[in-house]
Structure 1
Amino acid sequence: MYENDKNNKQVDGMGVRRKVIDKLQEIYASELTNVNFAYDGDKSLFTIGALPHVKNVYTVVVEDASSAKVATSMTPGENKSPGGSDMKRMKRPFQVRIFKVELSFAGTVPMDSIARVIRGQESDNYEKAIQVLDIILRQNSAKKGCLLVRQSFFDNSLSNSIDLHGGIKGLQGYHSSFRLTQSGLSLNVDVSTTTIVRPGPVIDFLLSNQDIKDIRRINWGKAKDVLKSLRIKTTHTNAEFKIFDLSEKSCSEQTFLWKKRNGNSSDAVEITVYEYFKQHWHIELKQSAHLPCLNVGKPKRSNYLPIELCYLVSLQRYKKALTVLQRSSLVEKSRKNPSKRKSDLSSALKCSNYNSDAMLRRCGILIASEFAQVDGRILRAPTLKAGNDQDLIARNGRWNFNNKKLIDPKQVNRWAAVNFSTRWNVQDLVQGLIRCGEMKGIKIESAHTIFEENLQMRDLPGTPENRVDNMMNQIHQRLPGRPTFLLCVLPVRKNCDIYGPWKRKCLVESGIVTQCMAPEYGRTKLDDQYLTNLLLKINAKLGGLNPQLQIERNRAIPLVSRNPTIIFGMDVSHSVAKKSNIPSVAAVVGSLGWPLISRYRASVCTQSPKLEMIDSLFKLEGGKDNGLIRELLLDFYSSTKRQKPEQIIIFRDGVGEGQFNQVLNIELDQMVKACKFLDDSWFPRFTVIVAQKNHHTRFFVPKGPRDDNVTNVPAGTVVDTGICHPRNYDFYMCAHAGMIGTTRPTHYHVLHDEIGFSPDDLQELVHSLSYVYQKSTSAISVVAPVYYAHLAAAQVRQFVRFDDMSEAASSASGTPSPLPELPRLHENVRSSMFFC
């Protein structure tokens, strides 16, 4: 599809392309035998049955008001525009845009491939068939004016919006997609949330976004970044444009050539934007005379508009990174209890009215009005062991250490406390920690010193690194030797700029185990529960164990306790910023001390931005393997008294179904090479499992006879029938108890299993691994190795300020800059659970 101008340029903008196809269908209805289209908004168009081959290229004329530049004259004082300018309402002629649409036959998608897969037969086309059905759902919502975000749809209902401040709103909609299950073709519907810019005057948005009240304080560098590609309408013409850039000069200084008509001729005169609007539109700019203009033109043809005459249109996604407070607010305000969630989904399904969609009907699809009912099982919580061989009994996925000691407590000696905050009495904190530690079996010596930051350091200009360096210099000067542990009190809980530099200084440069904490708003006293949670983290970092699985201790884990087994957790952390040159961080954790499955260490490295597959598991450089796996395998070998793992279990997080083959072909292949490089005669057995949290399947349990009165499923719920894939090996598990909102199960996909687990044994192992998270007294939603990998990547990412990198970091030739290497942890802490 291209616009029929002298450049024959491809049409940009999904909304414009959809409008053109709708017009094509209307104009050529009889010629195309009134066939229905399913259009994806890009280059794929599907029909049921073949189109008549009358011709391949169609001309489509679309009326377009946004490009009109002619208006009647106006007299000041007659009428006011929405933006406050005095003007007449103008009658503007529609201009037309002419498009050429070429339709060419690409192939057929047999829809009966879906039925074949459901019957358990092989089919190469069923994924494409499902994609076509999802495109029909998208088209259904697009015609209703919804904002489309992949398979999620959002309308402009104010009741569904959440104010996140900063000119940003959270918008609640719904997800809708088809899935193949053992019960047949299913429609997966769930609540979904996205962020949008608040519609209204551009100036108001910028003031709110930068949290200022004076337009003279606007940071125009940030404004340019946040406004680029947003759509605006003008108050004087109601025309719609996309923002390309900001002008370098203000409205009163920025000039352009104006073709001013003199009778039948026109003369080009140079004029400022300010004077042009004053002379031609009779609008005297008040706010934006000394502000930059919005450039809504093209790279080689600028078109300037004063900011005060522009307002942001509705339903525009905000794609920048949210602040910590905005993200927390979005999560908190988006939560829905199970009954509310189920009610909202029923309403969304009713409003969608999919059963009236002509294409779905032609495909023979009718959506049932009720939710699917499936059978589930509740696994019994594993027994945990505390010190003195005492049992920890988990009820609904939770337990406590009241009157219990840790199973493997470590002594805390040669330590000190550091205070970057003025809100806590650190002496009381230290005494409370020593007292609570004694109750839990941890012998904590008196702190050698409490280091209080000089108040002047907080007020002096400088970086967080300066504050950290100053504090560390005090520690080295006043302590007789290197401490084994430092307790650090930070000034704020969220997004503290000291955290990253402090962790780097301790873990990379000094090799000191450290635990950070921060004052909680409104908390004036630290109770035993808070102190116990703090001790769990400290003990794990120092090499201790808090609880332990009874079956782990008794060597009774099926298959795992019988043969030396290492368990890997793998994850990749991507920057939330949209800059293309910020590297991703890959992390792999591996278990230590078989037959234990509760102690881990991590290897972390950078890789290409947004790359999901980990490409450095095996990395041959100069005849040596410098990959992530090698160190983990060697540490396992040392911790098991020189035993190589005969079995390797891999839990992979963060990959979609379309990447499963890559996990096997790229990542598993690298692991096999890493093992072979260490010992050419070593052939361990592998089991590969993907853990997915980012999906839209939810479970509800009826409270009573009324269907709409539902609650969360209990901890330990497993569903492996009805809604699972008809051919692949997968299951859903809610190991944890959902206390707030609606529980989200983890979807486990077993991609490869050479070890030979039975379904029951594997599910019990996954369930047990949700109970070995050392910093918690509750089961977690995903196996601990995956969570540890996520934490390790997130923490090490803060050692380097990746998000401060700019697009300018690329070389002038356009080639990307080399990936910055992450600093290597000090050998004293390299094998510790520093991420706990």
Structure 2
Amino acid sequence: MAGPSKRRAQVEKKQSSSSGDSSSPSRDPTQRSTPKSIPHLDGNRDPNAKPDAPIAYSKPTDLKNISEALGLAGWYVARGFTVPDSLPQRPAKFNNQGRESAVTLNTFNVVSSPTRPVHQYDVSWGSNTDSTKRVLLKKLWNSRKVKLALGEPNNLWIYDGNKLAWSGKELPREETRIEVDLDDEEAKELAAQGRPARVPRPGAKPRDKNTHTVYIRHTRKVDFSGLQYFLDGQAAYSSECIDTINFLDHLMREGPSRNYTQIKKSFFQRGEERFDLGGGVEAFKGVFSSLRPVLNDSYKKSLSVNVDVANGTFWRAQEVTRAVGQVFNCGPPQFQTMFKQAKGRWNESSLKKDLRRFKRVGVTAFHVKGNESQWTIEEFVNKDPYEQEFPDPDDQTRRTTVGKYFKKKYNLNCTANFPVVKMTKKIRGGPVFLPIDWLRIDVNQRYNTKLSDIQTSKMITFAVTLPAQRWNAVMAGVRLLNWANDPYLLHYGLKISPTPSKVKARVLPSPNVQFAPGAGSVVPKGDLVKGRWRLDGRKFVLPNTERPIKAWGVCVIQGRGASSQADVEKFFQAFIKGYENHGGKILPHPKFGKKPWMGPGNLADGGELVAKAFNACGAHYNTRPNLMFFIVNDRNIDVYRRIKKSCDIRFGVASQVLQSKHVNKAQGQYISNVCLKVNAKLGGATCITKSEVIPKIPNGASKPTMIVGADVSHPAPGAASAEAASFAAITVSADPFFARYWADVQTNGNRVEMVTTSNIDNHFGPMAKLWMTKVGKGQPPKRVLYIRDGVSEGQYAAVLEEEVRDMKECFKKIGCKELPKFTVVIAGKRHHIRFFPDQGDNNKNPLPGTLVESGCTHPHEFDFYLCSHVAIKGTARPIHYQCILNEADFAAAELQSFIFEHSYQYVRSTTPVSLHPAVYYAHLAADRSRAHLSDSPVSSGKKETKAGDAKSSTGSSKKDVEVGPLQALSNIMGLKEVMWYI
């Protein structure tokens, strides 16, 4: 099988070359022990797949050709590998627990597939064509010369925008070569519009002309019968099946792409109503559609189309000067001042980084009336129009400035102290610079940068809709796609039913949720079905008996909005009463009783703010504090991370941050929520569940089981994401009830999706050993349920080949003679399947425990959709769980109930959560660990953090970047053994 990717090989080489370093091996978070076998989809370049694969998946651009929802077997076949026998197949019987519920899905069955022959072609380009420029490729494909050679419009072709094309007609030659002169095409187009042709510069050589060669080579006939045999279970997955699904997926998108703005599998109408998000950004709704093989609502294997609402963010179509002002929330004079201050240190300036969001935005230059031209922004430079020089086109012997040229050539003035824009296109071998005064952002330009907090809040308001509204939007999308009149579907014979799928779902029985013995120890079933219960009068099932609060302090951050001494004392009187009412343990001090130390904090002290409070509290009690509260004045991420960094890394003390506005109100529900978190941080747990289903299943719940959760979080897209760290978080269940979880986190390179071997060795290994000591009574678990979040189908195999293999190696290293049996489940949130039940909650959302096993699931592999929570807002999103390994022989009903019932044990709330807690906790730990980066800033109030700006030797960017490890969590008081990340 294939060896390691280039980037991973570089990491291994670097690790071996630095083996003499005296530092701990855990300091290198990116090392790999042995070569891996499965090509990756994490931004790394894939190693070469086998030559019989239908597409050269070694090329990252080719990965975009693959349709989703192929299943794990499909991705093995796509890469030319043998499908392993260990791949779990769909259970013979559906889950019959609970009660039946009729649920409509936003999927639409394919009624009939094409019957006429379809030919697949490989499209390639001459050496004069930059095949990475998709706009250029699209322009060439749509040129008159190509259309004429391909027999359009009589013969409708499908093109994937990259290297594959399909036609119902076979070309007369095995390979067709077409020469395209784009300048000539443009001249004819201008003439047709009655506009003058552009005059080529004097002395232009033939090789300088805008000519390109298109090569179209026949590769195979699309085999529709083979796909049907696979769906019927009469044939194994084949590369021909994948090609067929691929063709149908692109066929379905070809018609809409001609009429609407296409972004991947979503389409946006040009006249759609806009919603202003501020900062020069707007949102509007579109329609998402994707074709996939499914077990349909009639329990037959077929093809189905998933249709959903798409919410897109776009630049507002306006002048660039106005857009810049809106991005920076300032007028021209203020921006000019900012630019003048940043020019001298441009490459290090925050202004340059913030202007990167305009990179690759399409603009129109309108300085010549009646002859506007389109450009793409590459970057803003540190010179204004009267400083940026270039060769004078009218006199090649001298140079001129942009400002002078515009005045002389067009009699237009440019604004001084505004940066000029460098474009991606070159003229005469040199860069093109244009002033922003005469540039306008084109319509429907996608906004790719992370939204600000205010924009995100507005986007949520715009995107969140109740089920009835969302269903109406889905059906509006179906009408927009207009399958019945799509010329491409009609031409090839693909028919899709306009009637949605309707399935018989199951609402699984809720578990018994138990608190400590006493009044209200068992939550009523009615509250469980509603998905919410109160904490009033209930005691934690696992209080902080081993870590009682004894020396504890409260630091009140001073400044505008700070809580008064009276409000703080009132709040903590209520907290002490509430915490003890819930069973929490507070040891009275002989001198101070149960009252905490209280003192002021000053943000101007920076990193010493926490140290001063910790030391003052310690001096007050004459011992190390075991709990610190900090009351802040607003939601400032930098201040929060500074506090957490000092508490976690420097002092190893449990900490809780409160907002002054909540402290001042001292509401009972807020105090109870604080109690939940404090109890978990001191070793406790809120409640446990007792199943009524699993004990009835043979072998269920009788074997010692460890649950492991993992998530790798990546930097948000935007200015510094190419250098920022990814974080790998691993959680391990810490008791027989699966109520508490240990967690450890480390950097994981830059956009590297698989948890590295060193991270598993150095972080999972110690937690596995701790499990054997604390839970297993010296013995390893008999089975491990590994729930992995955040990977796409193309990465499932790598989870098995790398992460599971490395975990098994850890058990070997700690002396396990018999390795645990692994069951591996992928938890997916990024999908477009939604449930619309006939009978749901008050908002018509599905009830907790709604399980769907048909209508949208894979025809052969073991997957299911589970909605375990109640949606507070909008339409509930179920979680897609796919079992990709089942050595532990979990019965389907046991696995489904196991995952659902544990959602009621989430320690931070009195509701079931949407995702299994093991993965939810991994999310929290990964987010918290951002405070542990070495370069986390000392801040006194800056809103935007730069904590992700690290370097990586395994980054996906072209630069040689380096990501350093996190600072180690201090375990001087056993912080690692509690839920520090809660």
TM-score, normalization: structure 1?
0.88
Identify the match of residue 851 of structure 2 among 700, 714, 718.
Answer: 718
* 1:416-439, Cα deviation, whole Å (9 max, x unpaired): 112225443221211110121232
Does residue 1:227 correspond to 2:358, yes or no?
yes
Does residue 1:433 correspond to 2:579, yes or no?
no
Q: Which residue of 1 aligns with 2:232?
A: 119
* 1:598-652, Cα deviation, whole Å (9 max, x unpaired): 1110121111211111122676xxxxxx433211211111112222111111111
Q: CA deviation at 1:520?
A: 5.0
Does residue 1:747 correspond to 2:880, yes or no?
yes
Q: Which residue of 2 aligns with 1:832?
A: 978
Identify the match of residue 465 of structure 2 among 336, 360, 371.
Answer: 336
Secondary structure of 1:451's aligned partner: strand
Identify the match of residue 690 of structure 1 among 815, 826, 831.
Answer: 826
Equivalent positions of 1:498-647 (< 5 A) are 498-520=639-661, 524-551=664-691, 559=699, 561-578=701-718, 579-594=721-736, 596-616=737-757, 626-640=761-775, 641-647=777-783
Q: Which residue of 2 aligns with 1:822?
A: 966
1:397, 1:716 within 8 Å by CA — same for their partners in 2?
Answer: no
Secondary structure of 1:131's aligned partner: helix
Secondary structure of 1:724's aligned partner: coil
Take 1:576 and 1:366, find their aligned partners in 2: how far apart are those partners?
Answer: 39
Taking a change above 3 Å as real, the CA distance of residues 717 and 281 of structure 1, as seen in their structure-2 partners, is same
Q: Partner letter of residue 335 of structure 2? A: I
Q: Which residue of 2 aligns with 1:293?
A: 420
Take 1:630 and 1:3, find their aligned partners in 2: how far apart are those partners?
Answer: 50
Q: Which residue of 2 aligns with 1:791?
A: 924
1:552, 1:561 within 8 Å by CA — same for their partners in 2?
Answer: no
2:245, 2:292 within 8 Å by CA — same for their partners in 1?
Answer: yes
Take 1:315 and 1:818, find their aligned partners in 2: how far apart are those partners?
Answer: 36
Q: Which residue of 2 aligns with 1:352?
A: 481
Q: Which residue of 1 aligns with 2:37?
A: none
Take 2:290 and 2:694, find their aligned partners in 1: how far apart are those partners?
Answer: 45
Does residue 1:15 correspond to 2:135, yes or no?
yes
Secondary structure of 1:570's aligned partner: strand
Secondary structure of 2:578's aligned partner: helix
Q: CA deviation at 1:527?
A: 1.6
Q: CA deviation at 1:767?
A: 0.9
Query: Which gives a bigger RCO, structure 1 or 2 (Cα 8 Å, sep 6+)?
Result: 2
Taking a change above 3 Å as real, the CA distance of residues 678 and 147 of structure 1, as seen in their structure-2 partners, is same
Taking a change above 3 Å as real, the CA distance of residues 101 and 785 of structure 1, as seen in their structure-2 partners, is same
Q: Which residue of 2 aligns with 1:442?
A: 584
Q: Which residue of 2 aligns with 1:406?
A: 540
Q: Which residue of 2 aligns with 1:85?
A: none
Equivalent positions of 1:266-281 (< 5 A) are 268-281=397-410
Q: Which residue of 1 aligns with 2:325?
A: 207
Taking a change above 3 Å as real, the CA distance of residues 156 and 236 of structure 1, as seen in their structure-2 partners, is same
- Point out the more displaced range, 799-808 or 787-796: 799-808
Take 1:806 and 1:545, find their aligned partners in 2: how far apart are those partners?
Answer: 35
Q: CA deviation at 1:375?
A: 0.9
* 1:542-566, Cα deviation, whole Å (9 max, x unpaired): 1112111134999889745312110
Take 1:551 and 1:22, find their aligned partners in 2: how far apart are those partners?
Answer: 61
Identify the match of residue 733 of structure 1 among 866, 875, 883.
Answer: 866
Gap regions ≥5 residues in structure 1: 71-88, 261-265, 620-625
- Point out the more displaced range, 581-590 or 797-806: 797-806
Taking a change above 3 Å as real, the CA distance of residues 403 and 369 of structure 1, as seen in their structure-2 partners, is same
Secondary structure of 2:573's aligned partner: helix
Aligned-residue RMSD, C-alpha: 3.2
Q: Partner letter of residue 542 of structure 2? A: D
Secondary structure of 1:715's aligned partner: coil
Q: Which residue of 2 aligns with 1:73?
A: none
Take 1:67 and 1:296, find their aligned partners in 2: how far apart are those partners?
Answer: 23
Secondary structure of 1:738's aligned partner: coil
Q: Which residue of 1 aligns with 2:393?
A: 259
Q: CA deviation at 1:743?
A: 0.7
Q: Which residue of 2 aligns with 1:263?
A: none
Does residue 1:153 correspond to 2:229, yes or no?
no
Identify the match of residue 413 of structure 2 among 265, 284, 297.
Answer: 284
Q: CA deviation at 1:472?
A: 4.1
- State the identity as a percent: 26
Q: Which residue of 2 aligns with 1:52?
A: 172
Identify the match of residue 668 of structure 1 among 791, 795, 804.
Answer: 804
* Higher helix proportion (structure 1 or 2): 2
Equivalent positions of 1:14-33 (< 5 A) are 14-23=134-143, 27-28=147-148
2:632, 2:659 within 8 Å by CA — same for their partners in 1?
Answer: yes
Q: Which residue of 1 aligns with 2:786?
A: 650
2:868, 2:912 within 8 Å by CA — same for their partners in 1?
Answer: yes
Q: CA deviation at 1:351?
A: 1.3
Taking a change above 3 Å as real, the CA distance of residues 645 and 722 of structure 1, as seen in their structure-2 partners, is same
Secondary structure of 2:498's aligned partner: coil
Secondary structure of 2:155's aligned partner: coil
2:260, 2:267 within 8 Å by CA — same for their partners in 1?
Answer: no
Identify the match of residue 223 of structure 2 among 90, 96, 110.
Answer: 110
Take 2:976 and 2:816, find their aligned partners in 1: how far apart are those partners?
Answer: 27
Gap regions ≥5 residues in structure 2: 1-122, 200-208, 297-301, 340-350, 589-593, 937-945
Q: CA deviation at 1:209?
A: 0.6
- Point out the more displaced range, 15-24 or 237-246: 15-24
Equivalent positions of 1:27-176 (< 5 A) are 27-28=147-148, 34-48=154-168, 50-53=170-173, 56-62=176-182, 92-93=196-197, 97-121=210-234, 122-125=236-239, 126-148=241-263, 150-159=264-273, 161-176=274-289
Q: Partner letter of residue 977 of structure 2? A: S
Q: CA deviation at 1:54?
A: 7.1
Q: Matched residue pairs, number?
A: 787
1:65, 1:94 within 8 Å by CA — same for their partners in 2?
Answer: no
2:336, 2:417 within 8 Å by CA — same for their partners in 1?
Answer: no
Taking a change above 3 Å as real, the CA distance of residues 90 and 426 of structure 1, as seen in their structure-2 partners, is farther
Q: Which residue of 2 aligns with 1:320?
A: 449
